[in-house]
Structure 1
Amino acid sequence: MDHPRKVRLAAFLRDVWDEGRTDAVGTYLAPRYTIHHDPGDPWDGRELDVSGFRDRLIQSRAAFPDQRFDVQRMFADDDAVVATWLWQGTHLGDLPGFPATGRIIRMSGATAYFFDAADRLTGHWQITDRLGVYQQLMAGRTAALTASSP
């Protein structure tokens, strides 16, 4: 990982998303962060300030507080770094329609992160396997209902 923006992105993913360090958000983000494309994400299409991104981080991690990204590859080009990744977290908090199950949920995806001239993150464009997450959550809900039936 020789490109400085790859190193910075890896640190951002570790500090902010894996560790949930809300205090680190301002270290990595530009004053405005745009979610250009992230279907299924409640923040899709929105522009956030640093405080709004912190709120997003807290809400996003609430159901999976031990979540971890395992970056598979990174590709740098001009003002962007694309990361392909595997993600997993234990479903410890409720999601709408899905009470916590304690089950490990897995997902894969690819995200293009954009940087400004000061190497601060300005936004992302992301694709993920949200259908796979939904299927895993449904399986957990079905198992919980079956276990609680007389």
Structure 2
Amino acid sequence: MAVTTRDNIDIVRREIEEVWNGDDRDAIPDFVTEGFVYHNPMVDEEIRGPGGYRHLIEEYREAVRDFEMTVEEMFGDGDRVATRFTTRGTVEGELRGVEASGERIEVTGVVVDHLSDGKIAERWVHDDALGMLEQLGAIPDNR
């Protein structure tokens, strides 16, 4: 049975709910391929495979224990799914090289996932990194 666009949207939604919001790191291999690649301008190098992805998630979840991602909108076309999201949480540990601030942050962005055989093969994240760094106090807010 072929995987439909609707199936792919459901897979991405479940990955967000179970892995990111539910903090079920053991479920990562259920959602990403062995050759998974994660791209994000805030990350120095591409993250590869379920193990690399787990390490990234652990970094975020340890720094932002009350992390929550809200899906604002999702749509797909074949093996591609786009998600507009908002993340929120209180930064209690070092995050992306910035010391813990104790501040509650809110970051918006878009993720584009490419799926293969019912799993996420590649993820492109584009979020408001500047806004996040301003909220963390790492750079001055010039607005």
TM-score relative to the length of structure 2 = 0.85
Q: Tell me the C-alpha RMSD between the 2 structures.
A: 2.2
Q: Is it true that 1:119 corresponds to 2:110 in the alignment?
A: no
Q: Is it true that 1:42 corresponds to 2:44 in the alignment?
A: yes
1:63-78 to structure 2, matched below 5 A, reads 63-78=63-78
How much does 1:98 deviate? 3.5
Give the match's secondary structure for 1:92: coil
Which residue of 2 is the match for residue 21 of structure 1? 24
Structure 1 residues 41 and 76, CA, compared in 2 at 3 Å: closer, same or farther?
same
Q: Which has the larger radius of gyration?
A: 1
Q: 1:68-125 deviations in whole A, cap 9, x for unaligned?
A: 1111111111211000011111111123663323221010000101100x21110112
Give the match's secondary structure for 1:3: helix
Structure 2 CA distance for aligned equivalents of residues 71 and 92 of structure 1: 23
Structure 1 residues 97 and 12, CA, compared in 2 at 3 Å: closer, same or farther?
closer
Q: Unaligned 5+ residue runs, structure 2?
A: none
Counting matched residue pairs gives 136
Structure 2 CA distance for aligned equivalents of residues 123 and 105 of structure 1: 26
Give the match's secondary structure for 2:136: helix
Q: Which one-letter code corresponds to 1:120 in the other structure?
A: K
Q: Is the 8 A contact 2:80 2:115 kept in 1?
A: yes
Aligned-pair identity (%) = 24
Structure scoring higher RCO (CA < 8 A, sep ≥ 6) equals 2
Q: Is the 8 A contact 2:37 2:121 kept in 1?
A: yes
Structure 1 CA distance for aligned equivalents of residues 33 and 57 of structure 2: 16
TM-score relative to the length of structure 1 = 0.81
Structure 1 CA distance for aligned equivalents of residues 41 and 97 of structure 2: 19
